[in-house]
Structure 1
Amino acid sequence: MLSTMQDVPLQIRRIMEHGLNRHSTATVDTAEPGGLRTSTFAEIGAGAARLAHALKELGTGDGDRVATFMWNNAEHLEVYLAAPSMGAVLHPLNIRLPGDQVVFIANHAEDTVVVVDNSLLPLFAPLLPRMETVRHVIVNGPGELDAPEGVTVHDYATLLEGRPATYDWPDLDERQAAAMCYTSGTTGDPKGVVYSHRSIYLHTLSLVAPDVFDLSFRDKVLAIVPQFHVLSWGLPYAAFLTGCSLSMPDRFLTPEPLAGFVKASRPNKGAGVPTVWQGLLGYVKATPDADISSLTSAVIGGSACPPVLMDAYDEMGITLLHAWGMTEMSPLGSLARPPRGADADAVRAHRLTQGRFIASVESRLIGPDGSVLPNDGASVGELEVRGPWITASYYRADDPEKFHDGWLRTGDVGHISPDGYLTLTDRAKDVIKSGGEWISSVELENHLMAHPAVAEAAVVGVPDEKWGERPLAAVVLRPGMTADYAELRDFLGGEIARWQLPERWTTVPEIPKTSVGKFDKKVIRNQAAQGLLDIKKI
């Protein structure tokens, strides 16, 4: 027996049209030198329609990849709406990847059009001659670009000028490709994940729920997480679905201009990686007239939030909420809101987890022998997930080791409580295997960063003749502060079992980071192996 329900396809155009029809006066603030520029959803929608007309005239058809090389701004949002709604495929390029990887990704995806912010032209120009399938480059803002033969350069504003402010958006198959993003390629070549209209629509519905990001037309969100990083965690589409206004910081992500932008735009919620929040905190603490008091909460993801950072924002009345996900998951998998009625200790304990799995994300833990482990809060295994916005394969790339009986192997190791809260103890590639036992590098790092003299810390496994592998702690000290290794080891001794304490220590000027702000531990491992670090053993 079939239902009597109407079969209306789930499409990004319907998210956009809802935002335009019901929330046309909601706003998008874009940071600019010395201030901000405000656009309404109605103006963004008109710009998206004009862009769709322009792209169609340039020959963009169904399935053609429209890439972006841009910051978070109003024009980038227009591409987010126009490209998939007209039947093309949105493809944000990660501007922080090495140039060779950007070229590989553009060629692998077969991008035909690239929209580029003028401030990024010096970074983009050397890459363009090696982009084999690109035929048009659209530059947002004044700027000159020497293009190779066969590539036409357009000015964004001029290209859109005089075109209709409406577009006859087509009805598309909801399983049709809408957007694609690539993994950061920390091991091997980056791999492409292709999202459908259906998967983005369902992910957006879950994202805005009260137990998740809790977004409505009463909110304004500071979108620090880049639009080139897993579709800015879905915030652009969540905004149009709910009428939530957006604060887009463009290229102004260092602490001083970011604090000024928050003061001017007055968002009440935010989303971004820990490193940006850490930098903003330091600036606010040191600057009496800095004002980020409009913020009440922020979702933090990409890597684990140090408890000391969470505590510091609590003191300012801003609640940091842990979230976890992956490019392969669109990206959201879990978010850490404490259960109702929990006491203070339980609230803190739940907030320090990666959160409770959200509806439609199924999870299981797999032990070393391949068995499924119980969700008892103690059994530790590799996490596998499945659901309607989780990829089943990579684009034009085989990786059978990543997929297991219809489940995605996340590469994360941890445990799950009976009520569905996930605690990650490490990445499978980062867990330290010492004498047949596992040591969590993340746990060591979080406790180290609670020391008042430590700004950042990364812990990696290094070879050891007796135990196979032992932890090496690399620390970054705060300016003007000192701490010897014995003091730091004793500090850890109050929280960590003695056999897990590092014997090897080094001080570095900064922790290497990936293009999305995560600690790049393979760099530290390689430096240690090559004898490039001043390692002391205590």
Structure 2
Amino acid sequence: MPDVSELAADLLPEPSAPLGVLAEYAAGRHGETPFLSDTPWALTDRPVRTFAEFAAAIEELADRLWAAGVRRTDTVAIVQRNHIEVEAAMLALARIGALPVLLSSMMEVGELLESVAKLDSPTVLVDDFGLARLGASRHALSHLASRVLTWSANAPQWTIGLGDREAHLASPREASEPFVVTHSSGTTGGPKLAAHSARSLFGMVAPMILILKTQYSKKDLNAKHLSFVHARTCAGTLASLETAIPMLSLCDPDPASVKEQLLLHKPTSLETHPNIFIHWERLTEDPDRPFASVQRFISTFDAMHPRTVRTLLGASDDPGAHYLQAYGQTESGPISLRIVGRADAGGYSPRNVGFPGGPIRIRVVDEAGAEVPAGETGYIETRSPGRMLGYLGGDDPMIPADAWWPMGDIGRVGADGSLELLDRIVEHVEGTESLLEREDQLLDRLPELVELVLVKTESGDGVFAVACVRAGEECTAERFQDAAKEVGLGAIPVRFWDWEALPLTGSYKVRRGVLRQRLGRRMEKSAPRQVKGSAR
């Protein structure tokens, strides 16, 4: 188990170089450090396997963007396939000093267009995948964007190809200026555009850098399957460059592909979204033991279900195998950290999300904004160095930088100073302390489910369930209702759904608001008026 006492330091490290040129700096110091991908690059013909080759690819992309007229004052919205190339495009724009806006290609097309509309006639940058997503909307896009640039070798007439190359002028932004714009997940509404400076982005990952520098070595390999447009991935890429820790990008989440990569490269750390870890559970039964080399299973988006944590830790051959969980959001960065080893896994509850570290502060307040004592439930707020600069495009007025940031969650601080996360405010139902905890309990009782979501009805006083059954297995409505009664939910409506048909964010979170819109009225007719529970 790692020692996280370093996180008590109030002074966080500073980046070794401006983030816009950090890849070049890292290549100069640790050029042979592995920087791998399971999927070939499409934006460049050159191989990208090391820090040096990654930096060279970034320089090439910056030259091509410069040749197309991209300059320091430009805002550029990126819509590309989910690949580490997104990070290269971001850093290429950062070298020039332009402002990259990373948009998930998993968004609905209408949401992509709405996001572009918030940016005041930006440049749009696409690859072949982005072309396919936006091609049918090119006329609408022509009214929202100043131009559309494409990496595609077969650029259609309504776009500008990036085949030419001209030496660019590196002019990275100051640490306090906007460095990148990412977006919120949109689980409960539409995605919001969140601007981060180089300082806030580094503040987001600086606590992890302290651990990487003191407890990782060059023999480690971090494998990650993440949304490459997410602020967490931006920060994680920069952390890898800063600490010279080898990195493997897993772009294909298919279990067969993941197994092949794990057996080939034998990573010591594995990070992905909780819903993807659930889908990889089947690999724990594989006689080839693809998780054998993994010491650290990491999730920084949502807490993982206890069943998944126990299953993954049991599939590792490393005696110190553990699960590292961080709680935070795009706007705040991570604000607490928890580590769970094998000895703790039996009693693990994801409702406890650990402790804040360094200069991060957490409090819980009542409806009037007054801090409540430890043990009392309220609304979680934080002050953190990873907090964004603000929203773009009129999304919510920004509160002052020195004010407490509302996380939008319900929780409480324990007597030991740890934080318990109970529910999203917008998903909380009177009569139960935590719907999230009930989901965990149901998944423990129903191992045939790969996902289970409890959704508040449109009226706000009832709940319905959406359950996804693992391929080749079965769950009847009667079995589900028996389990629901066991965990104190009573009889609730359930809709069985294919996981592939769930409305998901770019980080594979279930969009509960969309499920409520699609199913709410039909399900509400049979939903109870109140959920039974054990509120305290």
Kept in 2: contact 1:29–1:265 (CA 8 A): no
Change in CA separation of 1:83 and 1:463 when aligned onto 2, cut-off 3 Å: closer
Name the residue aligned to 2:27: 20
Name the residue aligned to 2:149: 137
Q: Distance in 2 between matches of 1:111 and 1:364?
A: 40
* Letter matched to residue 467 of structure 2: V
Change in CA separation of 1:461 and 1:115 when aligned onto 2, cut-off 3 Å: closer
Q: Distance in 1 between matches of 2:369 and 2:293?
A: 48
Name the residue aligned to 2:338: 336
1:430 corresponds to which of 414, 427, 432? 427
Name the residue aligned to 1:453: 448
Name the residue aligned to 2:223: 222
Change in CA separation of 1:291 and 1:95 when aligned onto 2, cut-off 3 Å: same
Change in CA separation of 1:284 and 1:328 when aligned onto 2, cut-off 3 Å: same
Per-residue deviation at 1:358?
A: 2.9
Q: Distance in 2 between matches of 1:312 and 1:8?
A: 37
Q: Distance in 1 between matches of 2:180 and 2:423?
A: 30
Deviations 1:483-504 (CA, angstroms, capped at 9, x unpaired): 555655554666x4xxx42321
TM superposition score normalised by structure 2: 0.82
Kept in 1: contact 2:448–2:473 (CA 8 A): yes
Indicate the percent of aligned positions where both proteins have the same amino acid: 20
Deviations 1:74-127 (CA, angstroms, capped at 9, x unpaired): 533322322213211122111111001111212322474444333443223224
TM superposition score normalised by structure 1: 0.82
Per-residue deviation at 1:459?
A: 1.5
Kept in 1: contact 2:309–2:345 (CA 8 A): no
Name the residue aligned to 2:278: 278
The answer to whether structure 1 residue 154 and structure 2 residue 162 are counterparts is: yes
Per-residue deviation at 1:187?
A: 5.2
Q: Distance in 1 between matches of 2:414 and 2:98?
A: 42
Name the residue aligned to 1:440: 434
Per-residue deviation at 1:425?
A: 0.6
- SS of the residue corresponding to residue 130 of structure 1 reads helix
Q: Distance in 2 between matches of 1:30 and 1:426?
A: 36
Name the residue aligned to 1:412: 409
Q: 5 Å matches for 1:110-259?
A: 110=120, 112-131=122-141, 132-139=144-151, 142=153, 144-148=154-158, 151-155=159-163, 159-160=164-165, 169-170=170-171, 172-186=173-187, 189-210=190-211, 216-232=217-233, 234-250=235-251, 252-259=252-259
Q: Distance in 1 between matches of 2:306 and 2:393?
A: 40
Q: Distance in 2 between matches of 1:510 and 1:533?
A: 21
Change in CA separation of 1:184 and 1:114 when aligned onto 2, cut-off 3 Å: same
Aligned length: 502
Kept in 1: contact 2:409–2:425 (CA 8 A): yes
Name the residue aligned to 1:371: 370
Q: Distance in 1 between matches of 2:16 and 2:289?
A: 47
- SS of the residue corresponding to residue 235 of structure 1 reads helix
* Letter matched to residue 514 of structure 1: L
Change in CA separation of 1:369 and 1:222 when aligned onto 2, cut-off 3 Å: same
* Letter matched to residue 445 of structure 1: E
Change in CA separation of 1:279 and 1:100 when aligned onto 2, cut-off 3 Å: same
Kept in 2: contact 1:300–1:322 (CA 8 A): yes
The answer to whether structure 1 residue 469 and structure 2 residue 481 are counterparts is: no
Kept in 2: contact 1:26–1:41 (CA 8 A): yes
The answer to whether structure 1 residue 29 and structure 2 residue 32 are counterparts is: no
Name the residue aligned to 1:3: none
Name the residue aligned to 2:9: none
Q: 5 Å matches for 1:372-387?
A: 372-374=371-373, 376=374, 378-387=375-384
Per-residue deviation at 1:311?
A: 0.6
Per-residue deviation at 1:310?
A: 0.4
Change in CA separation of 1:68 and 1:213 when aligned onto 2, cut-off 3 Å: farther
Q: Which runs of 5+ in 1 are unaligned?
A: 1-6
Per-residue deviation at 1:291?
A: 2.5
1:90 corresponds to which of 95, 100, 119? 100
2:329 corresponds to which of 323, 326, 331? 326
Q: Distance in 1 between matches of 2:322 and 2:34?
A: 24
* Letter matched to residue 39 of structure 2: E
Change in CA separation of 1:122 and 1:239 when aligned onto 2, cut-off 3 Å: same
Change in CA separation of 1:98 and 1:483 when aligned onto 2, cut-off 3 Å: closer
Per-residue deviation at 1:289?
A: 4.4
Per-residue deviation at 1:357?
A: 1.7
Name the residue aligned to 2:10: none
- SS of the residue corresponding to residue 105 of structure 2 reads coil
Deviations 1:251-307 (CA, angstroms, capped at 9, x unpaired): x2222222223333332212211111111222453x444624332222113323110
Per-residue deviation at 1:399?
A: 1.8
- SS of the residue corresponding to residue 421 of structure 2 reads strand
2:88 corresponds to which of 78, 103, 107? 78
Deviations 1:127-154 (CA, angstroms, capped at 9, x unpaired): 44433324242325x5x34242xx4122
Kept in 2: contact 1:266–1:294 (CA 8 A): yes
Kept in 1: contact 2:284–2:311 (CA 8 A): no
* Letter matched to residue 316 of structure 1: A
More strand by percentage: 1
Q: 5 Å matches for 1:500-511?
A: 500-510=488-498
Change in CA separation of 1:201 and 1:303 when aligned onto 2, cut-off 3 Å: closer
The answer to whether structure 1 residue 58 and structure 2 residue 68 are counterparts is: yes
The answer to whether structure 1 residue 520 and structure 2 residue 480 are counterparts is: no
Further displaced range: 128-137 or 273-282: 128-137
* Letter matched to residue 75 of structure 2: R
Change in CA separation of 1:25 and 1:392 when aligned onto 2, cut-off 3 Å: closer
* Letter matched to residue 291 of structure 1: P
Kept in 2: contact 1:514–1:520 (CA 8 A): yes
Further displaced range: 95-104 or 107-116: 107-116
Change in CA separation of 1:122 and 1:213 when aligned onto 2, cut-off 3 Å: farther
Name the residue aligned to 2:358: 359
The answer to whether structure 1 residue 104 and structure 2 residue 80 are counterparts is: no
Kept in 2: contact 1:337–1:356 (CA 8 A): no
Name the residue aligned to 2:58: 48
Kept in 2: contact 1:125–1:145 (CA 8 A): no
Per-residue deviation at 1:349?
A: 4.0
* Letter matched to residue 16 of structure 1: A
* Letter matched to residue 523 of structure 1: V
- SS of the residue corresponding to residue 429 of structure 1 reads helix
Change in CA separation of 1:121 and 1:372 when aligned onto 2, cut-off 3 Å: same
Q: Distance in 2 between matches of 1:217 and 1:382?
A: 41
Per-residue deviation at 1:247?
A: 1.2
Kept in 2: contact 1:177–1:195 (CA 8 A): yes
